[in-house]
Amino acid sequence: MEVTLVAIFILGYLAITLEHTLKVDKLIPALAMMAIMWAIVALAHLPVFEVDTALRELKPTHLEEILLHHLGKTAEIIIFLLGAMTIVEIIDYFNGFSTIKSFIRTRNAKKMLWIFAILAFVLSAIIDNLTATIVLITILQKVLAQRDQRIWFAGLIIIAANAGGAWSPIGDVTTTMLWIGDKVTTGNLIAYVLVPSIFCLVVPTTIASFLPAFKGEVETQAENEEEKQSKYGAKMLYLGLSAIVFVPVFKTVTHLPPYVGMMLSLAVVATFAEIFSNAKINITSIDEDHEAHASHSPVHSSLSRIELPSILFFLGILLAVAALESLGMLFGFADTLLQTIPNTDIVVVLFGAASAVIDNVPLVAASMGMFSEPMDHPIWHFIAYSAGTGGSMLIIGSAAGVVAMGMEKIDFFWYLKKIAWLALAGFLAGALCFVVMRELLFT
């Protein structure tokens, strides 16, 4: 029966990977395999276990208890992401991200490359790498006239955004999972991963700055005076970013789960958004004129633009991995893997390479069930770095790459030929930096 479960997981995983080929949204196989796997566990009365990380052993438990446990852990991540997504959409409602365009005042290609790379690195640590990529490529399209130049910049933005998301607990879904799952703390994550992530940014950007594509001046777009501007745009940008950054501080002070702090931040941002829009504060009530109210309420408008398919995908994939974990299969696989490859550094680097081919969310979810090291063990920080930055090596290897591919119609093989080797150089430089720092400073 366990072989059947693994087969279902592999088939579902394959369907997720071939999403664009099959033209089936990845949330469908994720939800289907999750429901089928848990149904088989229930109908076959398979024994389920809870992993005791302190004793490195499996403790028998009841199906309802373990399912509720995993649902609770998954819900924490989903509610956190919903709050963060809504704040970002509220900022966008006021066109706050157009403020970032004011930082770009040069036509020199090399200088512009560094400006976009640094902006991607910093922004992705705050609003996550996917959103940062969307924002910066949107700005890029308003700044650069020629697509042939834009796709080069877009490729480096992908690398920089993934590097920036790896060292922040709110910068990437995978680091958020590790943070909420009590595998890493904010301070130690930054201490371990920030410098390697900077190497992952600086090495490819430095190499790229010597390439012909970034020599001379770029052709810029004419200013569009009709672009909608809001006098509250800058205020909402700084307020929203500050509110998101406040969440790790709230968790450190109160020791409450991160989603509680995110809900508080959302409440504050939503309050100011309603005041600035002169709309009545009416978030939860439903009246007859709901549609009319939604059209001028920034909160309602922002909630309607949330990427719910991604939320449902996380629900499906995390609970599917949880089914394998509850049967003790991931725990056993980890022992077999470490006996085959005793060096955990090599295992984690292979995880990073694998994240370029397969989705890093289930990859990190599986690693959380495979390894039982305590909180802030270096392996968790290395996993955060590898899973976060390894996806840059293929354009389909990260959410940032996929969205850039769609926005600029970047060819898979063009990226493989022109950008992948830069991403690989950055990934290996950061990984080497991590190992050296760990041996010299943290042991």
Write the pLDDT tens digit of every residue in 53-62: 544 566 777 8
User: Could you list the residue range(s) of the whole structural domain that residue 252 is in?
Assistant: 47-441
Give me the chain's average pLDDT, please: 82
Judge whether 154 and 410 are in contact, CB under 8 Å: yes
Give pLDDT tens digits for 71-126.
Answer: 988 888 788 878 888 888 888 888 887 777 777 777 888 888 999 999 999 988 88
Interatomic CA distance for residues 327 and 4, integer angstroms: 13
Domain count, the chain: 1
102: its two tokens: 């004011």
**Three-state secondary structure call for residue 59:** strand
Q: What is the pLDDT of residue 286?
A: 45
Q: How many helices (H) and strands (E) does the chain have?
A: 21, 2
Q: What is the pLDDT of residue 291?
A: 45
Domain annotation covers residue 38: no
| pTM for the full predicted model | 0.74
Domain annotation covers residue 26: no
Judge whether 305 and 134 are in contact, CB under 8 Å: no
Q: What is the pLDDT of residue 223?
A: 54
Interatomic CA distance for residues 199 and 396, integer angstroms: 22
Domain annotation covers residue 34: no
Domain annotation covers residue 349: yes
Residue whose C-alpha is closest to residue 220's, from 118, 106, 126: 106
Q: What is the pLDDT of residue 264?
A: 94
Q: What are 160's strand-pairing partners?
A: none
Domain annotation covers residue 269: yes
Domain annotation covers residue 40: no
Interatomic CA distance for residues 226 and 212, integer angstroms: 34
* Residues in the chain where the model's pLDDT stays below 50: 54-55, 225-226, 279-294
7: its two tokens: 């087969």
Q: What is the DSSP string of 205-252?
A: HHHHTTSGGGSSBPPBPPP-TTS---TTHHHHHHHHHHHHHHHHHHHH
Residue whose C-alpha is closest to residue 158's, from 123, 206, 117, 207: 117
C-alpha distances out from residue 314 to 71, 142, 328, Å: 11, 32, 21
360: amino acid identity, one letter:
N
Q: What is the pLDDT of residue 39?
A: 93
Taking the CA atoms of residue 290, residue 295, residue 300 and residue 306 in that order, the dihedral angle to the nearest 10 degrees is 120
Q: What are 49's strand-pairing partners?
A: 60
Interatomic CA distance for residues 245 and 425, integer angstroms: 30
Interatomic CA distance for residues 79 and 84, integer angstroms: 9
Domain annotation covers residue 39: no
Domain annotation covers residue 234: yes
Q: What is the pLDDT of residue 226?
A: 45
Interatomic CA distance for residues 191 and 167, integer angstroms: 9
